[in-house]
Amino acid sequence: MKPAQIESFFATLQAANPMPVTELEYTSVFELLAAVLLSAQATDVGVNKATRKLFPVAGTPQKIIDLGLQGLEGYIKTIGLYRSKAKHLMETCRILVEQHGGQVPRSREALEALPGVGRKTANVVLNSAFGEATMAVDTHIFRMGNRTGLAPGKTPLAVELKLLKRIPAKYLVDAHHWLILHGRYVCQARKPLCVQCSVSDFCDFKPKTA
């Protein structure tokens, strides 16, 4: 994909969705962090179902701690890998209370030091909560970076760094959301909906014809 095509690609996505947001439901930076931590290898729909019950009861690190591990597990047991996620979230809450005054830190280093928080999760929080131009490469963005020719790479980090370099600065803050949503609903893994795709003219992928 050439630079002029990249410009048109994102201008088209922006025109269709000027203010994209994550589909995870949250009302605070901590709730966003918790939701993203719980979303690994799970759907946003499934996470939202659990957090709609959890967050009204325990929407702060201290209230999660007060629930206790078994109490927390009871709220998130419908989410895959819930036992390990509960342990990570509980330990993260303890660190937030003990080291950060109950607040979510704004630095990548501090975020990635939290249990269960990797580079992708940190990027989501930095982008969605703090408005930083980061790129959280999930399975959708990794697929689209390679399939479209936007940012081919063999690892999520390689795709992330190439996207940050190739996407025009004016689109960077929102690009992460546009790519996830497009990958989730249009540029799907098994069968991309190229006929319905608004940016197919700028894409390197050529669907097979019958």
What CATH number is associated with residue 103?
1.10.340.30
Judge if 9 and 94 occupy the same domain.
Answer: no
Q: Residue 59 has what pLDDT?
A: 92
Judge if 90 and 112 occupy the same domain.
Answer: yes
Mean pLDDT by groups of 10 residues along the chain of 210 residues: 92 93 92 93 91 95 95 93 93 96 94 92 92 91 94 95 95 93 92 92 78
Q: Residue 208 has what pLDDT?
A: 65
CATH number where 196 lies: 1.10.1670.10
The candidate with the shortest Cα–Cα distance to 135, out of 110, 103, 104, 158, is 158
The DSSP annotation for 35-55 comes to HHHHTTTS-HHHHHHHHHHHH
Contact by Cβ (8 Å): 145, 162:
yes
What is the model's pTM? Answer: 0.87
Domain count, the chain: 2
Residue 186 phi, psi (nearest 5) = -120, -60
Number of C-alpha atoms within 13 angstroms, CB side, residue 137? 20
Q: Which of 103, 128, 153 is at the close of a domain? A: 128
Judge if 37 and 122 occupy the same domain.
Answer: yes
Does the active-site annotation cover 120? yes
Annotated active-site residue in 120, 165, 174, 208: 120
Residues 78, 20: Cα–Cα separation, whole Å: 27
Q: Residue 50 has what pLDDT?
A: 94
Q: Residue 42 has what pLDDT?
A: 87
Does the active-site annotation cover 170? no
Q: Residue 84 has what pLDDT?
A: 93
207 domain-assigned: no
Domain that holds residue 123: 29-128
Q: Which of 128, 161, 183 is at the close of a domain? A: 128
Q: Residue 209 has what pLDDT?
A: 54
Annotated active-site residue in 138, 201, 204, 206: 138
82 domain-assigned: yes
